[in-house]
């Protein structure tokens, strides 16, 4: 996988996303989702040595990690993914995504006995050029899974707010639960909320932001 030739600035925020070739599924079962989520943590490290030994564990705490990026949000869908990040080093975003995508393709091809590419080219990115746009991306990423129960919600609005919230509270493959449940899941160590604006730290503000977007689309 080639490295994307884009300059990402430390202290700025970026929406990173990609999908399967021809919109094909990249996650077929719980094991696939959890493996990708593990990679977001294990491979967010300048040193690769822990991958071989620890990828089968759920999450391992390290006292001396040297992360490539800070992750503020993520959501996995059957045929694509979204990640909200800020780089901590020069050229670290491309390196991180290269490691994650290559690692997942190797796992996927071995499991499903296939070869070749899985993703639709290089990852795509959006720069959160304003605080307003960052808030939008933050909510957009966490609400993206709603499409699984209401595929037209973005165009026609959310029909049932209660059903939507109940679904989000049971969807395991995003960082939504790490905000509403205040870091009670092991997966919460993927996130570095302190590298983002203060409202990323507040459970109350998070719920307000999500409800604002749900009501706006209701």
What is the residue range of 119's domain? Answer: 14-216
Domain assignment present for 7: no
pLDDT in tens, 52-97: 545 555 555 555 678 999 999 999 999 999 999 999 988 899 999 9
Dihedral sign (CA 112, 113, 114, 119):
positive
Domain assignment present for 2: no
| Residue with token string 């705490």 | 61
Please tell me the least confidently modeled range out of 19-33, 53-67, 129-143.
53-67
Tell me what percent of the residues of the chain surpass a pLDDT of 70: 88
Domain assignment present for 4: no
Domain assignment present for 146: yes
More confident residue, 136 or 65: 136
Predicted pLDDT of residue 55: 53
Give the distance from CA 168 to its chain's centroid.
15
Tell me what percent of the residues of the chain surpass a pLDDT of 90: 68
Predicted pLDDT of residue 61: 53
- Give the count of domains, the chain: 1
Predicted pLDDT of residue 7: 76
* Cα–Cα distance measured from residue 109 to residue 218, given in angstroms and rounded to the nearest whole number: 41
Predicted pLDDT of residue 2: 42
What CATH number is given to the structural domain containing 70? Answer: 3.30.70.1290
Domain assignment present for 114: yes
Q: What is the mean pLDDT of residues 17-28?
A: 96
Domain assignment present for 63: yes
DSSP structural state of residue 3: P
Specify burial of residue 27 (Cβ count, 10 A radius: 0-12, 13-18, 19+). buried
pLDDT in tens, 96-133: 999 999 999 999 999 999 999 999 999 999 999 999 99
Domain assignment present for 140: yes
Q: What is the mean pLDDT of residues 19-39?
A: 96
Predicted pLDDT of residue 206: 92
Domain assignment present for 124: yes
Predicted pLDDT of residue 213: 85
Predicted pLDDT of residue 6: 58
Which spans in the chain are helix H? 30-42, 50-54, 92-111, 131-143, 153-156, 161-168, 176-180, 203-216
Mean per-residue pLDDT of the chain = 88
Full strand arrangement of the beta sheet holding 14-19: 69-77, 80-87, 14-19, 124-127
More confident residue, 54 or 44: 44
Q: What is the mean pLDDT of residues 141-168?
A: 91
């Amino acid at each position: 996988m080639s490295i994307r030739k884009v300059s990402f600035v430390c202290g700025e925020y970026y929406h990173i996303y990609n999908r399967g070739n021809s919109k094909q599924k990249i996650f077929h079962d719980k094991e696939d989702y959890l493996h990708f989520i593990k990679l977001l943590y294990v491979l967010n490290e300048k040193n690769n040595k822990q991958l071989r030994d620890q990828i089968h564990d759920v999450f391992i705490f390290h006292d001396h990690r040297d992360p490539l990026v800070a992750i503020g949000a993520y959501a996995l869908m059957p045929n694509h993914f979204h990640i909200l990040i800020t780089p901590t080093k020069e050229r670290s975003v491309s390196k991180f995504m290269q490691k994650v995508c290559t690692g997942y393709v190797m796992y996927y091809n071995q499991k499903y006995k296939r070869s070749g590419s899985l993703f639709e080219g290089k990852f795509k990115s959006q720069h959160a050029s304003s605080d307003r746009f960052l808030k939008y991306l933050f909510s957009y990423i966490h609400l993206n899974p709603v499409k699984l129960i209401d595929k037209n919600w973005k165009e026609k609005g959310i029909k049932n707010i209660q059903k939507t919230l109940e679904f989000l509270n049971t969807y395991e493959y995003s960082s939504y639960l790490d905000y509403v449940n205040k870091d009670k899941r092991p997966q919460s160590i993927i996130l570095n909320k302190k590298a983002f604006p203060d409202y990323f730290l507040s459970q109350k503000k998070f719920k307000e932001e999500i409800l604002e977007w749900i009501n706006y689309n209701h």
